Amino acid sequence: MSITVRQPGIQTTVQDLGRLASQQLGVPVGGAMDEQAHRIANLLVGNADDAAALECALGHVALQFDAPAVVALTGRDITASLDGAPIPAWRAVRVHAGALLSLHNGCRTTIAIGGGLDVPIVLDARGTSLRAGFGGFCGRALQKHDVLSVATPSRRSQRIVAELELQSRTSAQWATSLSLLPCYSATPTVRFIPGPEHALLTDASRDALHADSFRLAPESDRMGFRFSGVPLTLTVTRDMLSSGVTAGTIQLPPGGAPIILMADRQTTGGYPRLGEVIAVDLPLVAQLRPGDSLRFASVTLDQAHALYRARERDLATASRAVHLRFDDGGERAR
């Protein structure tokens, strides 16, 4: 089955969970900006959590389906419709042949389709590496009239559709628990683990980092989010040797405006590192719009790991629940 792009939106790309292991070649990890939204969207349509899905920046996306399918939209502030009728986010939604799925509004919306998008595997992953121009759909953001192939849905995915058909419903009655959804906001507080150069901040800048809010600047992209606020300064200037960075690294270029490295970040960097946003709070950053603002709060590595492991347990529980309900033997188990 295939999907025709009627409106590509501002930047819609095919993404998965990225290319962690190719970092030693200098290849950016890439993948979904909001991994949690990506994984839950895939869960809702019966896919493996790393199946390729669409990631849409803001809105104005329209997709036409040539065959029945199940989709799920996840992210912050989503407004979407199917042939003009509103559909809910964070639910499995049944799409009939010929239907037009429209995303009117959102921040970074994942659209997962049962079966997953069928694009070639390049360097062990299906995500689009925009800067290098490979992976995903022809190594680029989607354009009008592009036609995307969808892989054969799993049995689980087919059963999710079958249940909706049997119930004559468009959207599923079940969902993942609310506790699994990140607390998205236009003014979130994100937690970070202070990094090596945090100790070099002047007293005033350290106070500002922990107390002020930082506004997302428009010149932000999948590589890094730039923030404006009171310029931060270090007590000493150091020209540093490039070293590994990661998702959520808060860099401080000499201009004093911090940058949070995002999915398409470089593998290494040479600017001072104030710290790293913890994994469970990265979705809150990923879903910011230009003009939104965040505050930082520091936590320890142990606290971050406790939060991460708790989230992974919750995701595993949700995943087991979907398997129990829709996999072979699930009917008997109930």
Partner 1 sequence: MIVWPHTITPLGDRALTIDFPEVDAATIRDLLRMLDARVGADAPTGVTARVPAIRTLTLHYEPTHTSYVALQSYISATLAGLTVVPGAPRDPVVIPVCYGGEFGPDLTDVAAAHDTSPADIVEAHTAGHYTVAMLGFLPGFPYLDGLDAALHTPRRATPRTSVPAGSVGIGGASTGVYPFASPGGWQIIGRTPVALFAPERTPPTLLQAGDQVRFVAVTDYELRRYAATS
- Closer by beta carbon to partner 1, 160 or else 285: 285
3-state secondary structure of 325: helix
* Ramachandran angles phi, psi of 78, nearest 5°: -90, 130
Q: Which of 31, 116, 269, 272 binds partner 1 (CB under 8 A)?
A: 269
Q: Which of 35, 28, 185, 222 is nearest to 110 (CA)?
A: 35
Q: How far is the CB of 317 from partner 1 (least distance, A)?
A: 13
- Closer by beta carbon to partner 1, 91 or else 226: 226
Binding residues for partner 1 restricted to 285-304, rule: CB under 8 A: 301, 304
3-state secondary structure of 161: helix
Tokens 């979904």 correspond to 32
Q: Which of 13, 244, 231, 229 is nearest to 131 (CA)?
A: 13
Give one DSSP letter per residue of 306-322, joined into a string: HHHHHHHHHHHHHHHHH
219 DSSP 8-state letter: S
Say whether residue 317 binds partner 1 (CB under 8 A): no
Q: Which of 3, 56, 57, 245 binds partner 1 (CB under 8 A)?
A: 245
Angstrom distance (rounded) from CA 66 to CA 69: 9
Binding residues for partner 1 restricted to 114-173, rule: CB under 8 A: 122-123, 129, 131-135
Binding residues for partner 1 restricted to 39-68, rule: CB under 8 A: none
Q: How far is the CB of 278 from partner 1 (least distance, A)?
A: 5
Say whether residue 231 binds partner 1 (CB under 8 A): no
Q: Which of 77, 195, 230, 298 binds partner 1 (CB under 8 A)?
A: 195
- Closer by beta carbon to partner 1, 160 or else 247: 247
Say whether residue 28 binds partner 1 (CB under 8 A): yes
Q: Which of 5, 14, 27, 119 binds partner 1 (CB under 8 A)?
A: 27
The phi-psi region of residue 156 (left if phi > 0; otherwise alpha if psi is between -120 and 50; otherwise beta) is: alpha
Q: Which stretch binds partner 1 (CB under 8 A): 18-26, 40-48, 157-165, 203-211?
A: 18-26
User: Cα–Cα–Cα angle for 129, 312, 266, nearest 5°?
Assistant: 25
Angstrom distance (rounded) from CA 150 to CA 46: 14
Residues that bind partner 1 (CB under 8 A): 20-21, 23-28, 122-123, 129, 131-135, 193, 195-196, 219, 223-224, 239-249, 253-255, 266-271, 273, 275-279, 301, 304-305, 308-309, 312
